[in-house]
Amino acid sequence: IVEHPAAGYKKIFETVEELNEPIPATITGVIPSWLGGSLLRMGPGQFEVGGEPFNHLFDGQALIHKFDLKNGQVTYYRRFIRTDAYVRAMTENRVVITEFGTAAYPDPCKNIFSRFFTYFKGIEVTDNCLVNIYPIGEDFYAVTETNYITKVDPDSLETLKKVDLCKYLSVNGVTAHPHTEADGTVYNIGNCFGKNMSLAYNIVKIPPAQGDESEPLEKSKVVVQIPSSERLKPSYVHSFGMTDNYFVFVEQPVKINLLKFLSAWSIRGASYMDCFESNYSMGTWFHLATKDPAAYMSSHKFRASAFNLFHHINSYEDQGFIVVDLCTWKGHDFVYNYLYLANVKEEWEEVKKAATRAPQPEVRRYVLPLDIHREEQGKNLVSLSYTTATAVLHSDGTIWLEPEVLFSGPRQAFEFPQINYSQRRGKEYSFAYGLGLNHFIPDKIVKLNVQTKETWVWQEEDCYPSEPLFVPTPGATEEDDGVLLSIVVKPGAERPGFLLVLDAMKLTELSRAQVNTIIPVTLHGVYKP
Ligand SMILES: CCCCCCCCCCCCCCCC(=O)OC/C=C(C)/C=C/C=C(C)/C=C/C1=C(C)CCCC1(C)C
Ligand SMILES: [Fe+2]
């Protein structure tokens, strides 16, 4: 465990300018010749407007980054996405649209009457797509978790159009973590605030491109509806699990209080962050639904102790069980409460103190039995030889789940997980790759064998990496035959930003492509071959 007394991490939370054209990178080592394509990643790039700071890590204006790899050469390019949030902020030189943790104030130039009418136009939901980018059909969309997604050109990084998912689907938003099948079918999940205040989580399906002019989104539909456990308070959902035949949805005790949500918009200074609250009694609920024909199976109540969940690692079916691997944070306290920019930009000793009070991270495996009716109460129903995870049927009909811990270290998180997705999605697997967070500060890349719990680490002094994306070697059969791509920032260096290419088997460095600019924190992205 390394220390960061120089607090170099502060640099990844500072505003940068976009580039007018791609810049060449200086390469050390050798980039595999088969690696030709673009690494596209999203993150915040502007952390204040007109002297007004954004408050939260998830508020900064969406910046798209691209490393192009071709014939062993590398270039880097970045552009701000021309979202409504960005364009209007630039035009009026103030925060115009309320972001996740920053409220927009009414236009000081408007008089009380025009302010009154703006207010009654209702909620203006943000389109600040800083969280992820992924393909739908032939197109690429930059996304946050609201109903607005933004189509971008993955070559020029130009902003193409804003799309409102509400036009196609009955959802109030969807996650930034869809699942994709080999044929290009996309699944996602989102909250749905239905008629007469009925609340549900809707799983949506977007078919692949048909090879004609038709728009996949036009043919999208809701395939499963899972009712909310609590009236007026849906749980926050950031990702979900999918096996060959099932959807896995974890309903966590972090709740959106819809009454607060609706009234917050009339309270000066309120943001999305003010609408969250913890449920101290429900614990955590697991839901299963079949994929085909899509149906919700409510017959059993899977329950576990309280944890925050953002990222599913992988899920799969094995001998009548569903294995669900998760990056958890223990307790009901909302982890996002610790991710204000003022917190992550503190000096190292303060950062450490704050992380001590926050929920503690743990990678866990939960196992859900599919066949329950014949079994006796009070006994462990999990008979998979390789796991210590348990599931016990109680007299009230609930099934209590206890996890097997796959990775745990005090205030050391294995987060932003990735797998060999094209080969192992929804299937039994061995390897997960993740970003190591040291008291919330990203300072290493970790490989985890989920079967043996063996770990491998890449770490370098004063270096701040991002989520490692796995790219398989063409024609590979071994699960970990490939490379990991991560954007790393080394603030003191002459060329402080670089694309790091690691051998995914040993986590050793193959090469780095360095540029003469700081690259702010990125959250998620894709590799486009
Ligand atoms: C990369 C290193 C980062 C350094 C620190 C990170 C620490 C992270 C620890 C935990 C992992 C958390 C991962 C979270 C990743 C993420 O990208 O989250 C971003 C989420 C955002 C921006 C969500 C925005 C959601 C909005 C605006 C939702 C709005 C809504 C509601 C709240 C209610 C109902 C409707 C609506 C409008 C959808
Ligand atoms: Fe995420």
Conformational region of residue 235, where left means phi above 0, alpha means psi within -120 to 50, and beta covers everything else? beta
Q: What is the residue type of 381?
A: L
Answer whether residue 2 is part of any domain. Answer: no
339 contact partners, CB below 8 Å, separation of at least 6? 56, 57, 58, 440
Answer whether residue 473 is part of any domain. Answer: yes
Nearest-atom number in ligand 1 for the CA of 131 is: 17
Does the Cβ of 437 fall within 6 Å of ligand 1? yes
Exposure b/e, 437-458, CB count within 10 A at least 16 = b: bbbbbbbbbbbbbbeeeebbeb
- The H or E element containing residue 469 is strand 469-472
DSSP state for residue 466 in the 8-state scheme = -
Q: Is 431 exposed, middle or buried (0-12, 13-18, 19+ CB in 10 A)?
A: buried
Query: From atom 22 of ligand 1, which residue's Cα is the shortest distance away?
Result: 58
Handedness of CA 244, 246, 252, 258 (dihedral sign): positive
In the numeric block, which tokens belong to residue 250?
Answer: 């974890």
Global pTM reads: 0.97
Answer whether residue 247 is part of any domain. Answer: yes
Q: Which domain holds residue 18?
A: 8-514
Q: What is the ipTM of this complex?
A: 0.96
**Torsion angles phi and psi, residue 343, rounded to 5:** -75, -50
Ligand nearest to the CA of 57: 1
Does the Cβ of 148 fall within 6 Å of ligand 1? no
Helix (H, G, I), strand (E, B) or coil at 206: strand
Ligand 1 centroid to Cα of residue 214, in Å, is 32
Domain count within the chain = 1
Is residue 428 a contact partner of residue 316, using CB atoms and an 8 Å limit? yes
313 contact partners, CB below 8 Å, separation of at least 6? 325, 326, 327, 363, 417, 419, 432, 450
Distance of alpha carbon 103 from alpha carbon 105, whole angstroms? 6
Query: From atom 7 of ligand 1, which residue's Cα is the shortest distance away?
Result: 440
Q: What is the pLDDT of residue 137?
A: 96
Answer whether residue 377 is part of any domain. Answer: yes
Is residue 348 a contact partner of residue 7, using CB atoms and an 8 Å limit? yes
Which residues belong to the annotated binding site for Fe cation?
Answer: 177, 238, 311, 524
Answer whether residue 522 is part of any domain. Answer: no
Exposure b/e, 322-358, CB count within 10 A at least 16 = b: bbbbbbbbbbbbbbbbbbbbebbbbebeebbebbeeb
DSSP state for residue 126 in the 8-state scheme = -
Answer whether residue 524 is part of any domain. Answer: no
Profile the chain (529 residues) by mean pLDDT over runs of 10 residues: 97 98 98 98 98 98 98 97 98 96 80 59 86 98 98 98 97 98 98 86 96 92 95 97 97 95 79 97 97 76 98 98 98 98 98 98 98 83 98 94 98 99 98 99 99 98 99 98 99 98 98 98 99
Ligand 1 centroid to Cα of residue 56, in Å, is 10
Ligand 2 centroid to Cα of residue 71, in Å, is 32
Q: What is the pLDDT of residue 344?
A: 98
Nearest-atom number in ligand 1 for the CA of 413 is: 9
Token pair 């809701």 is found at 222
Is residue 83 a contact partner of residue 162, using CB atoms and an 8 Å limit? yes
CA-based nearest residue to 231, from 202, 263, 264, 255: 255
